Amino acid sequence: METINLDFISQIFDTEIQSLILAKSKISDNFLVASQLIANANKVVLSGIGKSGIIARKIAVTLASYNISAIFLHPVEALHGDIGIIQENDVVILLSKSGSTDEIVRLLPFIKSRNAKIISIVNNINSYLANNSDVVLEALITKEACLFGIAPTSSTTVTLVIGDVIAVTAAKMKGITIKDFSKTHPLGNIGRTISLQVKDAMHTIDKLSIMNKETTLKDAIISISQMGLGCGVVVDSDLLLIGFITDGDIRRALHNIDEIRNLRAYDVMTKNPITINQNEYLDVALSIMENRQSQINSLVVTDDNNKVVGVIRLHDIVRSGI
């Protein structure tokens, strides 16, 4: 068995990276045209044979994850009846390194007869496929990273990246929002991150220690202890936020102030605390807590009228699983 060192591994990476750099140098307005066709399409049909077929499947599911209707069509099955899936106003994306793959080339007249637009992703822009496409995207490479320079390696990487580019661009053109994205990811970590909102994990107002600014420190401590969340919210008569008291605030007050008998909630609370709207996603709340120089473990939650409706703690977010 031949001994391999890390330089050999590094060369494979370099070969594929260099091909991506070369492909990037060939981007043109065709990328924008292709993305706009996809954004306006009734549906997107992708086809390729062999390794190109595998990449076509990946591009199809990427588009679908952005709520853009997309499906993979095997070119051989297409010629045995499945081409019926292609309808007018569809966009067909054909993948072929050479641009002369027989199974793909044979599809062209039947696709054109159905008044669908054709986008080709090819290495050879002078190929038959390229010359018969509405839009051509050049997937140029320096060489395949294969041991023998033959097996699709760099070419499939470049084609996959081009697919990602037009999928993301089309989603941007369609104005796809995080809410749209969340509808296609109901399960798993992505689903939890972008579908769970603060209101789904917060402690509601009936579970909070609520006080006014004149509440004595003793009563504030008793209330916070009774509710068991380690914090209290100071509000006015309309439930608008005045301040926030944590166990840490109380400890600092007891440590720094000699005379505490006359202290009120107003004297020890954090004024103008960071808040979050109940409709924000949990990952936004987590980002706020993690990005503060002095770590925040709890946030006051407000509604659209800035009234206090709850508290969300770091522990609650962790427990949600995101």
Q: How far apart are CA 268 and CA 213, in angstroms?
A: 10
Is residue 145 located within the same domain as residue 228?
Answer: no
Q: 3-class DSSP state for residue 173?
A: helix
Query: Which stretches of the chain drop beneath a pLDDT of 50?
Result: none
pLDDT at 293: 56
Say whether both 165 and 205 belong to one domain.
no
Position 284 scores a pLDDT of 85
Strands 203-204 vs 210-211: parallel, antiparallel or unpaired: unpaired
| Same domain flag for 148 and 203 | no
Whether residue 143 lies inside any domain: the answer is yes
Q: Which two tokens stand for residue 235?
A: 């509000």
Query: Is there a contact between 130 and 25 (Cβ–Cβ < 8 Å)?
Result: no
pLDDT of residue 322: 62
CATH number at residue 146: 3.40.50.10490
- 136 and 78 assigned to the same domain: yes
Q: What is the C-alpha separation between 208 and 277, in angstroms, rounded?
A: 17
For residue 258, is it within any domain? Answer: yes
Range of the domain at 245: 198-320
Two tokens, residue 190: 């992505």
Q: What is the pLDDT of residues 83-132, one digit of tens each?
A: 999 999 999 999 999 999 999 999 999 999 999 999 999 999 999 999 99
> Do 128 and 33 fall into the same domain?
yes
Rounded Cα distance between 176 and 38, Å, is: 13
Query: Cβ contacts of residue 201 below 8 Å, gap of 6+?
Result: 282, 312, 316, 317, 319, 320
Count of domains observed in the chain: 2
> Is 252 found in the same domain as 108?
no
- The continuous run of DSSP H or E covering 308 comes out as strand 308-313
User: What per-residue confidence (pLDDT) applies to 257?
Assistant: 65
- Its pTM stands at 0.68
How many alpha carbons lie under 13 Å from residue 1 in its C-beta half-sphere? 3
Same domain, 83 and 210: no
The answer as to whether 191 is a domain residue is no
Taking the CB of residue 11, how many other CB atoms lie within 10 A of it? 11
DSSP letter string over 257-279?
Answer: -S--TT-BHHHHSEES--EEETT
**282/280 Cα distance (integer angstroms):** 7
Query: In the prediction, which pLDDT does 102 show?
Result: 94
